Amino acid sequence: MLLPLVAILVFAAVGYGTLRLIDMRTFQFFGGLVDRIETDQKVVALTFDDAPTLQVTSVLQTLAQKNVRATFFEIGSAIEKYPQLARAITQAGMQVGNHSYSHQRMALKPFSFYQDEVDKTNRLIRGTGYSGEIMFRPPNGKKLVGLPWYLSQQHIRTIMWDVEPDTFEDTGASNGDANFLVNYTLEHTKPGSIILLHPFCDKVCAADREALPRIIDELEARGYQFVTVSQLLMYAKK
């Protein structure tokens, strides 16, 4: 009677532990990852996931007006759908990262799946004319063993984030409220932060697009400077 109960509890604990590991923003088994850097300098990186979509144009306009360079994590299948917009991101001098080909969960899959997703998207990013380092951000931050192993073999860095105003659990349902996004970001950003926004979907993401110029202005007013993720890593204390 007792033994099955213990077995169930152990299973549940292992299952829960695995889920927690898949989602962790500060740990993975191989190669390490970056969610922010330690620095005394007021530098931060703005990052956007799920590019490109039709909304890229307005985000690039905002960044050009504010003279800010950001990092765009692109989905391979979306690059195939909107090749001109992917090229526009590269031509605007933005940093480009790999956000998988199909935006599926990057855990508990066959090893060849990770290889295909990473390699195909890297080729598509190079096809836009991008020549900088290509870093990787797993869709929804999910990874376990196979993906980190492959990325570490390929010397591809995994980039997470420490400030996510629009969907992060502890904020509750904040989508659709630009004021909330601005205030949350101002409250949580520290020197060396990596800020994640999702400005590229249609209606729900309008709040992110509305918040973007305000986040830039308010953080600059507080003395912050915006850099790409590559530049940010150079500020890390040794």
Residues that bind Zn ion (CB under 5 A): 49-50, 139
Q: List alpha helices for the chain, DSSP H.
A: 2-23, 56-66, 76-81, 83-91, 111-127, 146-153, 178-188, 206-221, 229-234
Closest C-alpha to 111, from 75, 144, 63, 76: 144
166 is catalytic: no
Closest CB to Zn ion among 49 and 166?
Answer: 49
103 is catalytic: no
Please check whether residue 29 is in contact with residue 60, taking contact to mean a CB–CB distance below 8 angstroms: no
Shortest reach from residue 80's CB to Zn ion, in Å: 16
What are residue 196's phi and psi, to 5 degrees?
Answer: -110, 125
Shortest reach from residue 73's CB to Zn ion, in Å: 7
Q: Give the active site residue among 35, 162, 166, 198.
A: 198
CA torsion 4→9→15→16, rounded to 10°?
170
Helix (H, G, I), strand (E, B) or coil at 180: helix
Cβ atoms < 10 Å from Cβ of 39:
17
Closest CB to Zn ion among 139 and 146?
Answer: 139
Q: Give the active site residue among 49, 50, 162, 208.
A: 49
Closest CB to Zn ion among 124 and 219?
Answer: 124
Closest CB to Zn ion among 62 and 167?
Answer: 167
Shortest reach from residue 133's CB to Zn ion, in Å: 20
Shortest reach from residue 11's CB to Zn ion, in Å: 30
DSSP per-residue string spanning 34-61: ESB---SS-EEEEEEEEE-STTHHHHHH
Residues carrying an active site annotation:
49, 198
